[in-house]
Structure 1
């Protein structure tokens, strides 16, 4: 009489191997997700900076632009700047919490000093606090 099936030892070995694979894969997946969010945030900042340059070239340079994003709307003093974005809304930071999104994710400033214009975009979220794009033109 022969019995077919797995022994308890074989099942335990499989469970241990799966546990090791999960312990290795989860941190790697978390790091990949975080890196993707940071790259998306930097891409958003490049888009904002490019639109700042366009805004300045249309004769609006010298203005300080403060951008505040909310859940459903963008508040700014320059509606002509927001018109440069798809739908007239700034891109949202993928790392922002709900509170950060409500208080604003990005800070954008155009400064003009004699013959030099400086464009600066900063991500104000905790996850992207070190993210910054500068350009002197």
Structure 2
């Protein structure tokens, strides 16, 4: 089973917990909003320690190093069968400063032309009610678990 590791960054604003989510870059998600946002995450390198991978992926996709007291959440399995290991951490970043790494793919399809796209085209902060509409449905369990832990 393939594994990914990610970070669920959260902050408290006037007693309300907000979650930092990212919107996928590339041509397939340009006009999509609900159900496509995600925690910043990515595949583990061979023999890579999962929390180290999660922190590396956060930095690659968001452009910011993240540190703090990491809370390990229960793993989830995405629709494609990939297991996602996740840690929550309290912190605050400016969503407008997101700078992501890029990937290359053939675009348009069957054109033979390669184009570069950002892995993440933007990030934003959402309260729980909004986050559960925006995030990929299998990742809602991560939000629920963190809300439960925080009381």
Q: Same fold (TM over 0.5)?
A: no
TM-score interval w.r.t. the shorter chain? under 0.3
Which structure: greater helix fraction? 1
With a CA cutoff of 8 Å and minimum separation of 6, indicate the structure with the bigger relative contact order.
Answer: 2
Which structure: greater strand fraction? 2
